Structure 1
């Protein structure tokens, strides 16, 4: 099971994947008005789905600790603990996808650390070595590792445990510790990105919401704050995508190459970025948002 509403069809007799709604208060699927309501209702939805599908048919629940490309969705306090409780109650493995959120990105070694939740498996990749060499891995809990004490682990291919890739990870982790990259990312979120991006939201009517942690942020752009109508429709193309295209072009003209997805622009710089460079980039966003404001109601 993964945190998305669409279900993947599967061949008869082949295990399938069921997707579910996760918490997203700004566009709540649960008609919630507070983070507490969103948390409670999202967990009730997941629990109901486990009941309907049958807990015995569910091997694992997989989720991005902080959803990345789909919007930098930070879970409300209590949500991950609630998912852990559901998994423990029904004997389901909890897998945290930290490929984007891990290794300082959210101001913690792993984003789950912020909420004190311990998954059974953690998947990671590029953050572990800044992508210098292709590498991915899985952190396995003691309980699951123990199940392979008397049977082989059915994993591993040609490049598993590649010495060069693993050496780059060791070097990067040591550098992150010595240079306090995790602490710096946390400080950037608290002292630079959070305050500066929220100031943009107060200034620009096209900014519907600002959300993020550490060096992991998103601005959700809208045509109308009251109705929360997105600046462009879902999966827009052609003329429908013009407002976001104009915004992105303005960013590039100012010297910043933006990451945009649907009606959002993400602010995800290196965790080692200086305050000066961060603020310079935000100044370019400020000017580009003037263009987005022109499409507001």
Structure 2
């Protein structure tokens, strides 16, 4: 599809938005949302006809890009055949979506509870863990994001929790490993792993193991910074959970469905949780869908005992049709393997080259199509380019960097002092290199704020 300019239509869209749409995470009078005219593949465009290479995948969910014809056709076909039906019934497309997901989850996570998105998946996973164990506390990491509903936002570790932190009773935060900004003063990955596991053990001991229902971790934390856990850490958490009878929950809402170069990031670390949450990439975000993959042991808890949870749109046929088409398309087109190859041969090496050239790039980390650049004022001290949770003038260096990206036709994912490189998992090598070239130019703006 070729973009064409229609400024008048764009102005009407913008006016209606400003008059009636209340936006997420925003001071409503301070935002100026771009009016989007269309999208295809790894690109979207505005009503001025300007095209942007999307290095955000929406909100890291268009894993197979925008408007994939096979998924669009599946949604259209399902709408004509059975557009909706209540969740208490067996529906062919719902059953097939569950089967395809269960085939790809690790271990015995073979039962699928469908939700409308990731936050609801986390809510229900925690509910299942508490009911299964009869305990109430849940441990989660400070550098994390688990959603914006009541329990999920209190589990979240980043500042989006603060305004809603009236407390979901029993939530306890701890430090997960992050060598570049280690809370444990570690010098290498082995130390970071060992010290992070000891810190978790100590937290459990002081909270009371018999009170803890679950530990929830993003397999690879997403919005918080794409910190790939050191070898042995997730296996160590699994062992701790087994020892104390704690349910191990992995949040794969962002990391799942090919994002790290595996169907699920848990495969990268050879670990099987008791519950796994998913959403986003399950159907490339074309129709809202999420869910919980449930182990045999936890599923058995509810064989004779009703599970006290449900949603009107659980397993919505249109969403499930999109999931079936997405998963089959990813299989047919080798999207997961492509994401792995892209990370190993294009994105990873390309970002490391940028780090060598730019004093503002302190750290490069990631897997597959899931990467982050940690931007700094000084490489030696690792002082962030902007302060933690900076806003207004304090955030000016990152705002200038983002503006430089957009001026050149790249839409960046910017959070705090980081830019994430999270394009569609099926972006071509040429498109990825184009994006890296624009990043290279834009980083010269960030370099202006460094201290040598």
In 2, Cα distance between the equivalents of 1:168 and 1:271? 17
Task: Establish whether residue 21 from structure 1 lines up as the match of residue 159 from structure 2.
Answer: no
1:127 to 268, 272, 281: 281
**Taking structure 1 as reference, are residues 231 and 2 closer, same or farther at Cα in structure 2, changes over 3 Å only?**
same
1:193 to 347, 360, 370: 347
Between Structure 1 and Structure 2, how many residues are aligned? 294
Q: What does the per-residue CA deviation read over 1:173-220, in whole Å, with 9 as the maximum and x for residues that have no partner?
A: 111111111101100110111100000000101000000000000000
Identify the residue that residue 245 of structure 1 maps to in structure 2: 399
In 2, Cα distance between the equivalents of 1:162 and 1:277? 34
Identify the residue that residue 160 of structure 1 maps to in structure 2: 314
User: Greater relative contact order (Cα 8 A, min sep 6): structure 1 or 2?
Assistant: 2
**Taking structure 1 as reference, are residues 41 and 9 closer, same or farther at Cα in structure 2, changes over 3 Å only?**
farther
Identify the residue that residue 141 of structure 2 maps to in structure 1: 3
Please tell me whether the aligned partners of residues 9 and 16 of structure 1 are also in contact (alpha carbons under 8 angstroms): no
**Structure 1 residue runs without a partner (length 5+):** none
In 1, Cα distance between the equivalents of 2:366 and 2:333? 23
SS in 2 for 1:18: strand
CA RMSD in angstroms, aligned pairs only: 1.3
Give the superposition deviation at 1:37. Answer: 0.5
Alignment map for 1:262-281 (pairs within 5 Å) = 262-281=416-435
SS in 1 for 2:345: helix
Please tell me whether the aligned partners of residues 197 and 210 of structure 1 are also in contact (alpha carbons under 8 angstroms): yes
Give the superposition deviation at 1:15. Answer: 3.3
Q: What does the per-residue CA deviation read over 1:65-92, in whole Å, with 9 as the maximum and x for residues that have no partner?
A: 0000010111001000000000000000
Please tell me whether the aligned partners of residues 124 and 137 of structure 1 are also in contact (alpha carbons under 8 angstroms): yes
In 2, Cα distance between the equivalents of 1:9 and 1:83? 28
2:363 to 196, 200, 209: 209
Identify the residue that residue 214 of structure 2 maps to in structure 1: 60
1:225 to 368, 372, 379: 379
In 2, Cα distance between the equivalents of 1:33 and 1:179? 41
Alignment map for 1:143-154 (pairs within 5 Å) = 143-154=297-308
Identify the residue that residue 286 of structure 1 maps to in structure 2: 440
**Higher Cα radius of gyration:** 2
TM-score (norm. length: structure 2): 0.64
TM-score (norm. length: structure 1): 0.97
SS in 2 for 1:127: helix
1:73 to 227, 231, 238: 227
Give the superposition deviation at 1:238. Answer: 2.0
In 2, Cα distance between the equivalents of 1:118 and 1:242? 42
Please tell me whether the aligned partners of residues 275 and 293 of structure 2 are also in contact (alpha carbons under 8 angstroms): yes
Alignment map for 1:67-146 (pairs within 5 Å) = 67-146=221-300
In 2, Cα distance between the equivalents of 1:72 and 1:111? 12
1:50 to 190, 201, 204: 204
In 2, Cα distance between the equivalents of 1:193 and 1:204? 16
SS in 2 for 1:19: strand
SS in 2 for 1:107: coil
Identify the residue that residue 258 of structure 1 maps to in structure 2: 412
SS in 1 for 2:364: strand
SS in 2 for 1:96: strand
Please tell me whether the aligned partners of residues 289 and 315 of structure 2 are also in contact (alpha carbons under 8 angstroms): no
**Structure 2 residue runs without a partner (length 5+):** 1-138, 144-156
Identify the residue that residue 169 of structure 1 maps to in structure 2: 323
Q: What does the per-residue CA deviation read over 1:145-191, in whole Å, with 9 as the maximum and x for residues that have no partner?
A: 11111111222111112122112111111111111111011001101
Q: What does the per-residue CA deviation read over 1:256-284, in whole Å, with 9 as the maximum and x for residues that have no partner?
A: 01111110000000000000000000000
SS in 2 for 1:156: coil
Please tell me whether the aligned partners of residues 255 and 265 of structure 2 are also in contact (alpha carbons under 8 angstroms): yes
